Structure formats: structure tokens, C-alpha cells
């Protein structure tokens, strides 16, 4: 399996569909809430299956000259725990290095803390509560 970067509106649309299913729909959130509108200025990595379905995705944005932020990490139901999240994250980290970034920060959902710890992210602080129920934590990794 390989993670590649999205270049077409069709690829972005399939990514938004996966984000919606995994990160929004279970909390009754709208399809529109699946994007902050900054896809054009970000790097979207994804993995697709042999039918062209997007089964894993994640996004890198640049916050300042040294700092990238990973957002919207999602792996399809039934495909989690098989290394796809790690593959997407590594691909985003390689891109961040290419872009000259020195650090990645992210807001981890509580259920994803162990995943990011396994990928060498350090827990910095407890942050916001999304949709009133999903606790987030600021995590960082030096590249």
C-alpha cells in the first residue's frame, strides 16, 4: 500500500466523504463541516483500495515558517489498526521535512492519543472539547 497526495477535485471530494463518515457523521455533524475551506493551500495524503475508494487520509497545513499541523486523520471503519494511519502520517511528515518544517503539532482526539504516542508525538496539554464530548490534546513532534 502507498499513500499519495491529492491533486484533483475528485480526489478531494472522496477524502471529504471519508472525513465525514469517520470524523463528523457519528456526532450528527454536517457534510459541510468536513472541511475548513483550506484544502487548496494544504497537502492531503490518502490511500485508496483497488476499487478507488479512499480508505485512509490526513492533511498537512503550514502554521508558520517552522511548524506544520496535521489535521483530519481518518481511516475507514474495518480498516483501522492495520498500519494505514501510520502510513499516512509518515507520508505527511516526509512532506513537512521537504517543505523545511522543523516541527509538527496536532490536536489529538482522546481515542487517538496512543496512536500518536506510538508515532513519537509528545503530549503537551489538554485542550478543547469538540461537539461538547470529544476531548482533544495538543501533541507535538520535532522532525
List residues near ligand COA by CB under 6 A.
22-23, 73-75, 80-86, 108-109, 111-112, 114-115, 118
Nearest residue (CB) to ligand COA, 6 versus 23: 23
3-state secondary structure of 83: coil
93 is written with which cell numbers? 511528515
In this structure, are residues 72 and 58 in contact, taking their beta carbons and an 8 Å threshold? Answer: yes
Least separation, in Å, of the C-beta of 112 and ligand COA? 4
Nearest residue (CB) to ligand COA, 65 versus 137: 137
Q: In terms of Cα–Cα distance, which of 26, 39, 5, 12 is closest to 109? A: 26
Least separation, in Å, of the C-beta of 41 and ligand COA? 20
Nearest residue (CB) to ligand COA, 103 versus 105: 105
Nearest residue (CB) to ligand COA, 16 versus 108: 108
Least separation, in Å, of the C-beta of 8 and ligand COA? 23
Q: Which residues of 67-90 are buried (b: 16+ CB within 10 A; e: fewer)?
A: bbbbbbbbbbeeeeeeebbebbbe
What is the separation, in whole angstroms, between the first and last Cα of the chain?
24
Least separation, in Å, of the C-beta of 51 and ligand COA? 19
Amino acid at each position: 500500500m502507498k499513500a499519495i497526495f491529492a491533486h484533483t477535485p475528485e480526489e478531494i471530494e472522496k477524502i471529504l466523504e471519508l472525513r465525514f463518515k469517520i470524523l463528523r457523521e457519528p456526532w450528527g455533524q454536517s457534510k459541510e463541516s468536513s472541511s475548513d475551506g483550506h484544502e487548496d493551500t494544504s497537502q492531503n495524503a490518502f490511500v485508496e483500495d483497488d476499487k478507488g475508494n479512499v480508505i485512509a487520509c490526513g492533511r498537512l497545513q503550514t502554521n508558520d515558517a517552522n511548524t506544520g499541523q496535521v489535521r483530519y486523520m481518518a481511516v475507514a471503519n474495518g480498516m483501522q489498526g492495520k498500519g494505514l494511519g501510520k502510513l499516512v502520517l509518515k507520508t505527511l511528515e516526509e512532506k513537512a521535512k521537504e517543505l523545511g518544517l522543523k516541527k509538527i503539532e496536532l490536536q489529538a482526539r482522546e481515542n487517538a492519543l496512543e496512536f500518536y504516542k506510538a508515532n513519537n508525538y509528545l503530549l503537551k496539554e489538554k485542550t478543547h472539547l469538540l461537539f461538547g464530548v470529544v476531548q482533544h490534546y495538543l501533541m507535538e513532534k520535532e522532525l
